[in-house]
Structure 1
Amino acid sequence: MDALALLQRRVKANHPMALWRLGTIYLSGDLGLGKNIPRALELLHRAAEVGSRHAHDKLGQVYYNPNYGIKQDIPRALRHWTDAAEQGHPNSRYYLGIHDGNKKRWGRALAHFMIASKMGDKHSLKMIKNMCKQNFCSRMEYAEALRGFQLADDEMHNKQREDGQAFAKVFLSGLLPRY
């Protein structure tokens, strides 16, 4: 069974990641499916309804950016980014920070960037650094963001190392077929 067929099977089962992925494929027209914005939105909304924070993030991007071929709807984009951010999606926090910064709501922007940088988002950390250079936040706040970013980065690398070691242990114990 090819990857697209398997993905479509998981979509029929209402799997959130499969719905999100197929929606993004229809947005870009990948895998020979061709662009189909209405179908993409349908899949992304279904994915968001069953709890995909990635779908909320992508819907925020689609409604915020008129380049997707639909009418820009900023309040709707912000609702989706807020839902994704509340579910722990750092990219959505970053976008909320950008939006608040564009509105000159520096405190709110900093709060979003701070949360995202502590989740390991390097773009948010860079925004805090820029805000510090422009005196929109203090060096102490930047230092706090940097420490949080480094902790998140260390944790991520430790998790990857643990996953690799667990895989190697299973592989070496003969539980997986050798090719």
Structure 2
Amino acid sequence: MTRLIRSLSDTPAALTYPEHGSTLQGPLPRGYAHLHLTVPVGAGQDVFETAGEAVTAWRMHRASGAQVRADAPRAAPGVRLEVSAGAGPLRLRAPCEVIWARYEERRIGFGYGTLDGHPECGEESFVVDLHDDGSVWFTVTAFSRPARWYSRLGGPVVPVLQHAYARRLGRTLARLAG
């Protein structure tokens, strides 16, 4: 497997916020913009397993148009990755580290936190749940605030773009799992 940059795991970058794991344990910390979006993905065990695999193996992000380079093929605590979009000098790079991952009977997902160089500061999680009625739901939960001049310049547009991207991920996951 190609290693990210030299290897993100070998890079001494640190998480850029102190509230590690808040997208799993809650509550979301004050002083950040919050995002919580839940969308239906489908129904049944097969849809749940396919969606969980698409989320934790980076397939959902890639299929939504982002590039993902990671130190591992699946989400696990400590895995470093870079999510990017755009082209050439306009490519926006977002280095992250997986903070937590869950591979449970009715819940699959992970949360990652921002590293130095990320345009935002905070944490985001991507979780697939299988409900008692057999329905499968995808949830994005995040807290963030600007970390770079250009994300501060974006002001109120940044949360709108984040919410639009979360909706896009939900649509992409429903398509992949269906």
Higher strand share: 2
TM-score normalised to structure 2 length: 0.27
Q: Higher relative contact order by CA 8 Å / sep ≥ 6: 1 or 2?
A: 2
Higher helix share: 1
TM-score normalised to structure 1 length: 0.27
